[in-house]
């Protein structure tokens, strides 16, 4: 369980997970999410819309039961009409947590983007409901979403395609399966397009628990790469053709490990007495 305290009446946590979260052994990420949602007393809503596999929702019912969650309801929204159905939206009313599964993030944006359901999730998070997403779900939960891109270590013009996401925060751009799939180049490219946002490269079986104070804590078995271009001195992004490497001078790179805390507003590590 993250050491960040939850203050009543504040925004819920935003939790991007890098994908392939441990579901069989210690399950640190999922246990932390379930604990935050109240354990056996908290209802969790699973949204498997990103996946084309029919059993994704059922598998997460079993996974959450094994980490001692409360009731789990699956909302397998497949059309925009369903996403605007008041009866579907009403099912979230008593939720303590909302969980977006992996799959294809463009299914999330094209089916849920701009719908009453998406608005209801934002309102739920604002009143204290915790929202997590794994893999494609992790990319979707911020305002600026990596829709697709090529792998590699060097940023290149046109290497990544961005699309609007759910919009729970505009402070980060999330990339998932990060070190496992060599995605530092595409995250740097995304940040070159918009240096305001902070890039979070989240490894598999790892999560950033972003609190209402915009301090994140790392939980899981891997690390998080933070790309901060706030003090970017120069960039050649506007001068190069698609496929050409991009010069970026003055980028800060931080590598966070489980237990590390990072302030997204002050853009610095948060030290504790034990670290």
Mean pLDDT, consecutive 10-residue stretches, the chain (275 aa), reads: 61 98 94 97 98 96 96 97 97 96 98 98 97 98 97 97 97 98 98 95 98 97 98 96 97 98 97 65
- Check residue 153 and report its DSSP letter: S
| Catalytic residue, candidates 32, 51, 69, 135 | 135
Decide if 8 is inside a domain: no
Torsion angle defined by CA atoms of residues 32, 218, 7 and 100, in that order, rounded to the nearest 10 degrees = -60
Instruction: Tell me whether residue 135 is one of the annotated catalytic residues.
Output: yes
Helices 28-36, 56-66: axis angle to 10 degrees equals 80
pLDDT of residue 275: 46
pTM of the model: 0.96
| Catalytic residue, candidates 130, 177, 217, 260 | 177
Return the CATH number at 30.
3.40.50.880
Decide if 188 is inside a domain: yes
| Catalytic residue, candidates 32, 69, 142, 204 | 204
pLDDT of residue 194: 87
Domain count for the chain: 1
**Host domain of residue 137:** 14-269
Instruction: Tell me whether residue 260 is one of the annotated catalytic residues.
Output: no
pLDDT of residue 5: 52
Instruction: Tell me whether residue 52 is one of the annotated catalytic residues.
Output: no
Look at residue 206 and give its three-state secondary structure. strand
């Amino acid at each position: 369980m993250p050491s960040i305290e939850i203050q009543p009446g504040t925004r819920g946590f935003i939790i991007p997970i890098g994908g392939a979260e441990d579901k069989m052994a210690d399950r640190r990420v999922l246990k932390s999410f379930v604990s935050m949602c109240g354990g056996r007393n908290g209802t969790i809503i699973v949204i498997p819309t990103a996946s084309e596999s029919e059993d994704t929702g059922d598998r997460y019912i079993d996974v959450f039961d094994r980490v001692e969650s409360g009731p789990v309801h699956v909302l397998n929204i497949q059309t925009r009409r369903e996403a605007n159905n008041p009866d579907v939206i009403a099912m979230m009313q008593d939720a303590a947590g909302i969980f977006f599964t992996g799959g294809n993030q463009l299914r999330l944006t094209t089916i849920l983007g701009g719908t009453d359901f998406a608005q209801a999730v934002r309102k739920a998070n604002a009143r204290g409901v915790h929202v997590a997403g794994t893999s494609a779900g992790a990319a979707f939960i911020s305002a600026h979403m990596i829709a697709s891109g090529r792998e590699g270590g060097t940023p290149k013009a046109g290497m990544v395609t961005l699309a609007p996401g759910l919009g729970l925060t505009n402070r980060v751009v999330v990339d998932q399966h990060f070190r496992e799939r060599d995605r530092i180049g595409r995250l740097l490219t995304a940040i070159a397009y918009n240096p305001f946002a902070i890039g979070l490269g989240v490894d598999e079986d790892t999560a950033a628990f972003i609190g209402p104070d915009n301090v994140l804590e790392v939980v899981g078995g891997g690390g998080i790469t933070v790309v901060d271009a706030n003090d970017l001195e120069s960039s050649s992004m506007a001068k190069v053709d698609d496929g050409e490497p991009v010069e970026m001078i003055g980028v800060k790179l931080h590598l966070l490990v489980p237990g590390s805390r990072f302030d997204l507003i002050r853009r610095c590590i948060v030290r504790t007495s034990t670290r």
